[in-house]
Amino acid sequence: MVLVLSANALPVTARAQATAVQGAEPLTLARLEQLALENNPTVRAAQAAIEAARGRARQAGAWPNPIAGYTGEEITTRGSVDPRGEHGFFVEQTIPLGGKLRLSRSVFERAADEATMRAELQRQRIASSVRALFYQVLTSERRIEVHERLAALGSEATGVTAQLFNVGAADRPDFLESEIETRRVQLELNAARNQVFALRQQLAAVVGVPDAATRPLAGSIDEVIPELERDATLQVLIERSPQVQTARAAIARTQAQTALARRETHPDVFLRGGAAYNREHGEDTRRPIGWEGQIEAGISIPLFNRNQGGITAARAEETVAQAELMRLQLALRAQAASEFATYLTAIRSAESFRADILPRAEQAYTLYLARYREMGAAYPQVLVAQRGLFEMAREYLEHLEDAWRSALRLQGLLAGDGLDAPDGESQGIEASTRMGRE
């Protein structure tokens, strides 16, 4: 039993998409980027992280709440002939000194700066992913066109072979080989259509609009691929990369944490004042003494806890952040070098295939088919030329896709994927800003 898949054997959803795409208004790359920045959920998550950091900054700079309460001394029991005792109230306030509130607020302000850079990184990721998927879809749709053309050529060759076979000028193996090659091209065409369906779904996911999967795209892979210069591209990558900016913001935050940790042992002042009504009778007046005021003041003494562990931890986190910046810059250089090698190879190969290799392969196939029609060439020669043309067309599109992908990744500063979750805020910020404000 032989299982044959035709080019029309698309999934139901793929056929429905192909029908819907025809009548919809085309989407430009700029419009897709705008929709993605408006609808991708990671943008909202990154913006919420900024608001959270700013809220913590406001909270960190707030004064501790005062404590108010009741006091009572020498209270007599009910029914006493000579009631005595004092009843009053007090208010207690802790006053942080040494600028600890300002330094605590500074830590979260730097965290807000870091969250802002992470949000910018996320926007760069989204834009880069949209551009890459945009040109991947265009390339895959062009691949469908190429496969359809190759399928038509294969059908033509099969028809010629069938005619020659009917008049006894061709052998049955030649006819079978032509049918096999035609069905092979049809299978490749079916795979290309399925790939377009999958890529369109990915594009719609990054954009955050399901309708984007059923809309045609306004663009062409025949546009000039950006010409990039190695040293200039690397310099821009290191200087403007949101990842590098985020790492630098993390260093500023850890430096603020170190400054706060060093100031934690600075004494705080505690003030307590109030008034109490003394019901004890005076010796002279024989009347209750009445209201009496009181005030207390104290200061914390850094005798046992000098926050040595907190300072050591803060310095270590600062070292980690500085090392992370160096690691990131080295990693970006390595990635850029690898991506640029792929870009140069792909763009030069695509140019060579388009200008020289493909025209020659098509001409060779056309000549062999014409000679075979005139019985001047054997069918294996036609088959080899047909397969060569097919492979050359596929390689050309692969090189073209690689060139676009690498160029867009480099222009997108190697930011990453648009559906990756925004990087989380650094741990340990809360622990570094303990101010005793329970």
pLDDT of amino acid 111: 92
Confidence of residue 78 (pLDDT cuts 50, 70, 90): low
Helix (H) or strand (E) holding 153: helix 100-166
Instruction: Taking residues 139-154, report their average pLDDT.
Output: 83
User: Which is higher by pLDDT, 141 or 368?
Assistant: 141
User: Which is higher by pLDDT, 111 or 368?
Assistant: 111
pLDDT of amino acid 77: 62
The lowest-confidence range among 17-21, 67-71, 193-197, 319-323 is 17-21
User: Which is higher by pLDDT, 144 or 6?
Assistant: 144
- The pLDDT tens digits of the residues spanning 225-268 come to 888 888 888 888 888 888 899 999 999 999 999 999 998 888 88
Confidence of residue 422 (pLDDT cuts 50, 70, 90): confident
**Is residue 1 pLDDT above 80, yes or no?**
no
**Is residue 10 pLDDT above 50, yes or no?**
no
User: Which is higher by pLDDT, 206 or 184?
Assistant: 206
Nearest CA among 210, 205, 195 for reference residue 14: 195
Domains in the chain and their CATH numbers?
A: 26-62+99-266+313-433 (1.20.1600.10), 65-95+267-301 (2.20.200)
Confidence of residue 47 (pLDDT cuts 50, 70, 90): very high
DSSP for residue 287: S
Long-range contacts formed by 246-250: CB under 8 A, 24+ apart: 246/114, 246/117, 246/118, 246/121, 246/423, 247/321, 247/324, 247/325, 247/328, 248/117, 248/325, 249/110, 249/113, 249/114, 249/116, 249/117, 250/114, 250/321, 250/324, 250/325, 250/426
- The pLDDT tens digits of the residues spanning 261-308 come to 998 888 889 899 988 888 777 667 677 778 888 898 999 888 888 888
pLDDT of amino acid 203: 92
Confidence of residue 108 (pLDDT cuts 50, 70, 90): very high
Q: What is the mean pLDDT of the chain?
A: 81
pLDDT of amino acid 68: 92
pLDDT of amino acid 368: 82
Mean pLDDT is highest, among 1-10, 237-246, 377-386, for 237-246
Burial letters for 15-27: b for 16+ Cβ neighbours within 10 Å, e otherwise?
Answer: eebeeebeeeeeb
Dmax (CA) for the chain in angstroms is 145
pLDDT of amino acid 7: 33
Percent of the chain with pLDDT over 70: 83
pLDDT of amino acid 231: 87
User: Which is higher by pLDDT, 386 or 397?
Assistant: 397
pLDDT of amino acid 2: 28
